[in-house]
């Protein structure tokens, strides 16, 4: 269902509307996570630091780190017992953003255990809540 927002224009009244409000319809998604690509590890000229992961947030082109928690979700062969839930094959490695990396939407993050190298180039979930 589209969400209707009324935006105020400074001193300009659009043709065909009453006052200075213009209705704008946008679709609100129920998704509480953002799409992120795992780019690799932090590295120097000779050394690679596997405890610090680099991520590119899609559609973000600034040096702001407003997202807090990250989740690497993957599937395994055997079922995992979850407290208070049904056993399933999904597992999660949780992490958090530490700082920005440059000014083009890249951020650094640390995880509880280091991310596997097979995850480079794959999608990570960034939660939109702390």
| Per-residue pLDDT reduced to its tens digit, 64-102 | 666 678 888 889 999 988 888 889 998 889 998 888 888
List the structure tokens of 71.
């989740």
Q: For residue 26, what pLDDT band results from cuts at 50, 70 and 90?
A: low
Give the integer Cα–Cα distance in Å for 111 and 41: 12
Q: For residue 59, what pLDDT band results from cuts at 50, 70 and 90?
A: confident
pLDDT of res. 2: 41
Out of 19-28, 45-54, 64-73, 89-98, least confident range: 19-28
Relative to beta strand 33-43, strand 48-57 is antiparallel
Q: For residue 128, what pLDDT band results from cuts at 50, 70 and 90?
A: confident
Give the integer Cα–Cα distance in Å for 65 and 130: 12
């Amino acid at each position: 269902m589209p969400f209707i927002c009324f935006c105020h224009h400074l001193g300009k009244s659009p043709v065909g509307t009453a006052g200075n409000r213009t209705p704008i319809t946008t679709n609100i998604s129920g998704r509480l996570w953002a799409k992120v690509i795992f780019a690799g590890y932090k590295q120097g000229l000779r050394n690679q630091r596997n405890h610090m992961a680099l991520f590119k947030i899609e559609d973000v082109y600034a040096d702001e780190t407003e997202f807090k928690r990250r989740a690497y979700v993957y599937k395994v062969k055997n079922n995992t017992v979850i407290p208070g839930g049904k056993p399933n094959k999904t597992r999660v490695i949780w992490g958090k953003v530490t700082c920005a990396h440059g000014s083009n939407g890249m951020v650094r993050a640390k995880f509880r255990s280091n991310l596997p190298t097979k995850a480079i180039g794959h999608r990570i979930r960034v939660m939109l809540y702390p």
